[in-house]
Structure 1
Amino acid sequence: MLKIIGVRFKSVGKIYYFDPGDAELKNGDKVIVETSRGVECGEVVMTDREIDETSFKNPIKPIIKKADERDLKTIERNKQREQEAFEICKQKIEAHKLKMDLIDVECTFSNNKMLFYFTAENRVDFRELVKDLASVFRTRIELRQIGVRDEAKMLGGLGICGQPFCCSRFLGDFQPVSIKMAKEQGLSLNPTKISGCCGRLMCCLKYEQDSYEDLLKHTPKVGAIVKTTDGKGVVQEVNLLTGKLRVKIDRSDNVITVKKDDVEVLKDGNIKIDKNELKALKGLEGK
């Protein structure tokens, strides 16, 4: 068994695993580690875990050391440098007349690279901008175009629920969310009702999807033909959470409300999204 710790490099980001060696660490401690981007400083968010070494494809790297006062001062200097770089880059973007919006700047711990994150509707030729920035900061420059979900995660804000964005508060990775989920959960397919501030489908649609999928296995769908005590009819409306159905009885205008357990399904229906709905919701599933 191998003892490991979990380290994050951003407040809400992916957790990476390292071997702490003999170091006594607790959550919140800063550690210096080697990553694919070079030497970085991260925060310990998980301690005292033992795993089977064979469960990881690649060997677990050891930490270099626990961050000391000198390292913490380096982090503060880097943060100040990032703020200055942000303003300078915005000026350079305006000078080069590029159609892009700067979102964030990140400076690696060892100062060997600066990363500039931006959004743009189309591809941007930023080669001259990179040269300009390299001449100012005398280090390796990397520009990364990100999607609107990543932008929301970096900038943060309040969702329509009144709470801070899930992505900037606790979601480490984005989960795939589909229009089908909203349809299966019986939500109105109104873009303003099911999309977040980023303009994409709300991440929270994923949270209860497993429960809805389980309920759908045992509940007749809209369009299903069922047998009730009043006769055969067609399901017109379904409330998955209460298990109640509204059924129109054949050869009459009578619409009754019954429990799903009180009917016999003769032919189940299908959940479908028509072309007009898809057209109205085009683009909501993207990144």
Structure 2
Amino acid sequence: MACTSCSTSDGGAPKGCKNNGTCGTDSCNKLTVFDWLGNMNLPNGEAPFDCVEVRFKNGRKEFYRNTEKLTLSIGDIVATEASPGHDVGIVTLTGELVKVQMKKKGVDHKSEDVAKVYRKASQKDIDIWSEARDKEEPMKVKAREIAISLKLEMKISDIEFQGDGSKAIFYYTANDRVDFRQLIKEFAQSFKTRIEMKQVGFRQEAARLGGIGSCGRELCCSTWLTDFRSVNTSAARYQQLSLNPQKLAGQCGKLKCCLNYELDTYLDALKDFPDFETKLYTEKGDAICQKQDIFKGLMWFAYTDNFANWHVLKIDQVREIVVQNKQKIRVSALEDYAIEIVVEQEANFNNAMGQESLTRFDQPKKSKSKNKNKNKSKVQNPNQNTNPNQNANPNQKQGQGQNPNQKQPQAQGQNPNAKPQNKRPIIIKKNEDKK
């Protein structure tokens, strides 16, 4: 939040202005404009420009003429001309910069069709406007239920009430033309207000609703982008992007608008490149282009009889071979012109804790059945003597007088059915009789 009323409190928690997009300082709204001419004074004798820019719900902006010569500044709530009644909006721009915006949008500031600003909104106007905006969300839910019951292939994306509450504009999207004559009758009967249906495109719907793009930033169409140019798949081809609709499509389901941002730069760089369909004729065989690197100025060629082996050539070398081919001269082979690309070794960074592997927890778990079998093999008979030296003569040293061919006698308390263990045999001697 950029405005002072939306700044964080003393404890660090966000305070919030709770104005639901009608912030008084106009610093936390979509499509805000900075008046960089606001601190400049007009020359002597020049009257200020008599038109202002007013913003309504979801970034909708219109130009109005200040016929009453009111002292307006950015953030003032005004009552404007509408059909029928009046509408309520917030002033977003005043002064000479409005003339620049009107020229950019193709609006003639001398035309008499420009609507008027009636007055600054009173407290009564603001109360009626707030009550009307509180009705929009529950009305949208009920409107969608009515459209589904009539089995209409359309989606009601948003509802906007007029400032005086006399009219409601229903914004919807549809692939085909929709006959909503019965729908309007149902809406008028349920909501008891004047109904106006307005179809918007899928990009305009995403701009009104907002969201987060795949880049992690807020959508361009809901923050600063005002004109929606057509985007073609050729823009992705020129930038050598994979034609994957899941990666190239945005939140609106159409191709991303950002595909046009760098398209002109790519087209300027491709002017120096030979055509992608250029063939090189050599004595070893004909070669076809497989790949281009626009930033490094490289092209990859492969023989028609061996597409697995690629040769890297610079664009100057490709032009040289093309000139010789036009003179009906075949070069010996592409290997004479190919260059070797040195692959740089990637830096291996380790953090302070030594946890450099992001997939260290993704290793498959060991099966429990194997562990159980191992545990069973370790379990011994409780009657079995585990210490072979327990019954041995304490006066006798271990390992003395052992015969490797002699069988080991059974110790006392040992299970006779137990399997013999692979241990060295121990001979137990009886004490000699006392003389």
Fold in common (TM above 0.5): yes
Q: Deviations over 1:232-267 (max 9, x none)?
A: 976432222x14222438899661242x46763758
Q: Which amino acid aligns with 2:111?
A: N
User: Please, which of 204, 209, 220 is the counterpart of residue 258 of structure 2?
Assistant: 204
Residue 108 of structure 1 and its aligned partner are, at CA, apart by: 1.5
User: Please, which of 40, 51, 59 is the counterpart of residue 12 of structure 1?
Assistant: 59
Residue 180 of structure 1 and its aligned partner are, at CA, apart by: 1.4
Q: Which amino acid aligns with 2:62?
A: Y
In the alignment, the residues of structure 2 paired with residue 261 and residue 65 of structure 1 have an alpha-carbon distance, to the nearest angstrom, of 69
Q: Deviations over 1:61-89 (max 9, x none)?
A: 44222333332222211111222322332
The answer to whether residue 75 in structure 2 is matched with residue 28 in structure 1 is yes
Give the gaps of 5 or more residues in structure 1: 268-287
Count of residues in correspondence between the two structures: 260
Q: How does 1:1-287 map to 2 (within 5 A)?
A: 3=49, 4-13=51-60, 15-20=61-66, 22-35=69-82, 39-49=86-96, 51=99, 56=108, 58-59=111-112, 60-224=114-278, 235-240=289-294, 242-248=295-301, 255-258=311-314, 260=315, 264=319, 266=322
Q: Which amino acid aligns with 1:246?
A: M
SS across alignment from 1:218:
coil
Over alpha carbons, which structure has the higher Rg? 2
Cα gap change, 1:221 to 1:197, in 2 (>3 Å): farther
Residue 113 of structure 1 and its aligned partner are, at CA, apart by: 2.0
Give the conservation status (yes or no) of the 8 Å contact 2:125–2:164. no
In the alignment, the residues of structure 1 paired with residue 190 and residue 310 of structure 2 have an alpha-carbon distance, to the nearest angstrom, of 77
Residue 201 of structure 1 and its aligned partner are, at CA, apart by: 0.4
Give the conservation status (yes or no) of the 8 Å contact 1:238–1:246. yes
Cα gap change, 1:220 to 1:43, in 2 (>3 Å): farther
- Name which of structure 1's ranges 34-43 and 128-137 shifts more when overlaid on structure 2: 34-43
Query: By percentage of residues, which structure has more strand?
Result: 1
Residue 191 of structure 1 and its aligned partner are, at CA, apart by: 0.8
SS across alignment from 2:253:
coil
Give the conservation status (yes or no) of the 8 Å contact 1:7–1:16. yes
Cα gap change, 1:36 to 1:226, in 2 (>3 Å): farther
SS across alignment from 1:129:
helix
In the alignment, the residues of structure 2 paired with residue 37 and residue 250 of structure 1 have an alpha-carbon distance, to the nearest angstrom, of 73
In the alignment, the residues of structure 2 paired with residue 161 and residue 37 of structure 1 have an alpha-carbon distance, to the nearest angstrom, of 43
Q: Which has the higher contact order (CA 8 A, sep 6+)?
A: 1
Residue 196 of structure 1 and its aligned partner are, at CA, apart by: 0.9
Q: Deviations over 1:133-160 (max 9, x none)?
A: 2123333212334333233223222221
- Name which of structure 1's ranges 122-131 and 244-253 shifts more when overlaid on structure 2: 244-253
- The TM-score normalised by the length of structure 2 is 0.51
- Name which of structure 1's ranges 85-94 and 244-253 shifts more when overlaid on structure 2: 244-253
- The TM-score normalised by the length of structure 1 is 0.74
